[in-house]
Structure 1
Amino acid sequence: MRRRTFVFSSAAAVSAGLPGLGFAQQATPGIDAGSKTITVGAFTPITGPVPFYAIVTRATDACFKWANETNALKGWKIKYVIYDDGYEPARSVAVTRRLVEEDKIFALAAPVGTAQTEAVIPYAKEEGLPMVGPVGGASALFTERLSFPLLPDYGWSAASNADYALKSLGVSRVALLWENDELGRSAKRGFERYLDGAKKQAVESIPFEVRNTDFTPHIRRLANAKADVVILFGSNSNLAAALKSADRIGFEAKWMAPFFTADPTTRKLAGSLLDGVYFSSWLMPVTSNDPDIKAYRDSIAKYYASDPVGVFGLNGWSNGMLFVKSFNMLLESGKPLTRANLVDVMETMRDQNIGGTRGVSFKPGDHRGARQEGIIQATNDGFKLVRDFKPYPEQVFDARLS
């Protein structure tokens, strides 16, 4: 299959260079001091099994277009080069090699996929190539020095759900429905670790397959266990199907789910059954009046009007903003604009609001970017933040580094 190449953001040339950069900048890949242009790149699945994930990349591009138009980088412009990898890790490595060797990128910015970003790590280490905002949940991304992810481990989110259920909803009979793959297993590990620390036990823990459309057997088990709260870790369609099965048999409980299901697409699938569902989320609600979220919505309407406004897009926008913020930190540091110096300054980032997330920090040896989550609730007129952002439960969050 012929690979497709996309240059989403062509940087406008600016005549004035930065004083004092001289020849040191000319040797740095992706930095054109004369035109004040930074070239970054990413791989994304424009073809393959999950082409809709390219929504994430288009939102990142919208962020970079916004940065270029608003002079967010003090006269510097971002050129964003994208290749399709078909969601195949081997192709992700080949794409990264091409971006480095042919396009001379300064960094990867918001590359998409868990297995895909993990596969690229060895080559990135060979080249000293920063991976800023990789959109994946691989554990290796949190400790690799060149990698700066925002996306949290699903186990942390499951623990946040359980913590809110026990401490704020006033219930004790908590159950977990989990997708039978690494997403669900990660959630299950964090959920169980949290309950162990709270000296509690789940009344049920039930796996399901990602293609499940009828949850009647699962719901009957939950009803027999008298579950007060059901935490589901699966897709938007899984959540909608489970809510419909519960409605058919008259099972009533409070429901909780992960951040990526707090999305208008879930509303289309579940209708009014979504009302009242809670979500532990590292991202602000997409319907928020927060200026950062409004900038995301306005930019999508301007540059990619056919794309839905939702969590996938806000994810991409936020990871794009991580690069914008980080490059600004490098400019303000006065250090030469090198890959190594970008990594150094990013490890000094503390408690920053980045796009739709809050309290982002990176430290040497600890690249867990999103360290807090809020609780969102679906209402008939959108999604609302019902509990402000707070740190993940320590016994689960700190276990990642133990």
Structure 2
Amino acid sequence: MRRRSFLSTGGAVAASAALPGWAQAQQASPGIDTATKTVTVGAFTPISGPVPFYTILTHAAESCFKWANETNALNGWKINYVTYDDGYEPARSVAVTRRLVEENKIFALAAATGTAQSVAVIPYAKEVGLPMIGPIGGATALFSERLVYPLLPDYGWSAAANLDYAFNGLNASRVALLWENDELGRSAQRGFDLHMSTNKKTPAESIPFEVRNTDFTPHVRRLANAKAEVVVLFGSNANLAAALKAAERIGYEAKWMAPFFTADPTTRKLAGSLLDGVYFSSWLLPVTSDDSDVKAYRDNVGKYYPNDPIGVFGLNGWSNGALFVKGFQMLLASGKPLTRANLVDVMETMTNQNVGGARNVSFKAGDHRGARQEGILQAAADGTFKLVREFRPYPAEVFDAKLA
């Protein structure tokens, strides 16, 4: 595994017992070095595998932590960020997390990349009492655990937001779903189907695909045969680009919609002009915003990773890193011992906070829904992504549905 760390730190002491697997609550947890005022956190990231460009997310989170260190955002404390390659394979994500806990003595996972990967880690995190702050994924399972604080929305909510715009913004009657056959896609399918049912409609098609799929010709032929007017695709940037290319090859014309993380220059690089006109739901402010938090993202990623594109994808990583920064600020301000248990407690008091490019982020006991609204963006021929519908709450029947 490849490891990356930008600040060294010393050892740590015992964990807290407020949740299963924790030791005395009045002692500092692993990852806390009071002598150097350093907190060590970690993440898994796909340097290898099918989506190596997802490391843009990790670069952005790391840039956020460097920015926090340099601006003294944590009142003298520094963040040490350790990451290892997991190849975007859930089993390897668990192995990486175990290594981070046992060898690097991390205080928490912070901005770890992957939906299925984060879900796979939950049982081990519960076993050792490890907080998961800002997992970069949108599966339903991430919202039902006390240790997990997702900033991203459930992809089911996003899929419903896309479908709602297809019905009411694009006036479509035949809408299909093309979904990645893992936790990401299944969560999207749940919200899509529920909103379909609420509107007393049925999908024109609902087609799963594997994350490593590169040829979407059979899938697109099914969409064409079903006469789908709008296709909502939930998968990677590479999946969206491949599907658009397949549609061009067979002459299938439809309007396409996708989740926020594909509204990014990385997708433009893969799809070229085929991306023009595609719609995306987004829970983040536009990357071109004059907002100070978004400007900090642009300036610092440009400083530390000048070859990475500035886009929604990177702002996502920055914002999930910023969630740990915000949570640790709150823990320091609380005056409580620096334990994993107390971090979990203070995270549940976060109310209407600005976190990176997200706004009005709130958590409370029994409700770990962070982002609560989305707007609709559209890819323009000049390479930008323009807001074509203002932010609105998610369809209520999906947002308020009982999570599995």
- Tell me if TM exceeds 0.5: yes
SS in 2 for 1:314: helix
* Cα 1:62–1:238 shift into 2, 3 Å: same
* Cα 1:224–1:317 shift into 2, 3 Å: same
SS in 2 for 1:9: coil
Q: What is the match of residue 385 of structure 1?
A: 387
**TM-superposed deviation, 1:124:** 2.4
**TM-superposed deviation, 1:371:** 2.2
Q: Decide whether the 8 Å contact of 2:268 with 2:275 is kept in 1.
A: yes
Query: Is 1:194 matched up with 2:192?
Result: no
**TM-superposed deviation, 1:313:** 2.4
Distance 1:219 1:91 in 2: 32
Q: What is the match of residue 7 of structure 1?
A: 5
Bigger radius of gyration, 1 or 2?
1
**TM-superposed deviation, 1:310:** 3.2
Distance 2:278 2:28 in 1: 53
| Greater Cα shift, 265-274 or 223-232 | 223-232
Distance 1:56 1:383 in 2: 19
What are the superposed Cα offsets for residues 304-337 of structure 1, whole Å, 9 maximum, x if unpaired?
2222333432222111100011111122223222
**TM-superposed deviation, 1:130:** 1.2
| Greater Cα shift, 118-127 or 358-367 | 118-127
Q: Decide whether the 8 Å contact of 2:45 with 2:87 is kept in 1.
A: yes
Q: What is the match of residue 18 of structure 1?
A: none
Q: What is the match of residue 394 of structure 1?
A: 396
Q: What is the match of residue 58 of structure 1?
A: 59
Where in structure 2 are there 5+ consecutive unaligned residues? 10-24
Distance 1:93 1:210 in 2: 19
Q: What is the aligned-residue RMSD (CA, Å)?
A: 2.8
Q: Decide whether the 8 Å contact of 1:25 with 1:32 is kept in 2.
A: no
**TM-superposed deviation, 1:155:** 1.8
Distance 1:133 1:86 in 2: 19
Q: For 1:98-247, what aligned pairs fall within 5 Å after superposition?
A: 98-210=99-211, 215=216, 218-219=219-220, 221-223=222-224, 225-247=226-248
* Cα 1:140–1:185 shift into 2, 3 Å: closer
SS in 2 for 1:95: helix
| Greater Cα shift, 374-383 or 284-293 | 284-293
Q: What is the match of residue 335 of structure 1?
A: 336
Q: For 1:203-352, what aligned pairs fall within 5 Å after superposition?
A: 203-210=204-211, 215=216, 218-219=219-220, 221-223=222-224, 225-247=226-248, 251-352=252-353
* Cα 1:92–1:274 shift into 2, 3 Å: closer
Q: What is the match of residue 19 of structure 1?
A: none
| Greater Cα shift, 361-370 or 247-256 | 247-256
SS in 2 for 1:401: coil
SS in 1 for 2:298: helix
Q: What is the match of residue 20 of structure 2?
A: none
Q: Decide whether the 8 Å contact of 1:125 with 1:146 is kept in 2.
A: yes
Give 1:227's aligned amino acid. Answer: A
* Cα 1:162–1:115 shift into 2, 3 Å: closer
SS in 1 for 2:401: helix
| Greater Cα shift, 140-149 or 350-359 | 350-359
Number of aligned pairs? 389
**TM-superposed deviation, 1:162:** 0.7
SS in 2 for 1:266: helix
| Greater Cα shift, 153-162 or 269-278 | 269-278
TM-score (normalizing by structure 1): 0.86
What are the superposed Cα offsets for residues 14-69 of structure 1, whole Å, 9 maximum, x if unpaired?
xxxxxxxxxx9864332233432222222333345544333322221111001111
* Cα 1:357–1:217 shift into 2, 3 Å: same
Distance 1:119 1:6 in 2: 22
Where in structure 1 are there 5+ consecutive unaligned residues? 12-23
What are the superposed Cα offsets for residues 371-397 of structure 1, whole Å, 9 maximum, x if unpaired?
222211111230122223222212112
* Cα 1:205–1:290 shift into 2, 3 Å: same
Give 1:384's aligned amino acid. Answer: K
Q: What is the match of residue 98 of structure 2?
A: 97
**TM-superposed deviation, 1:161:** 0.3
SS in 2 for 1:151: coil
* Cα 1:257–1:32 shift into 2, 3 Å: same
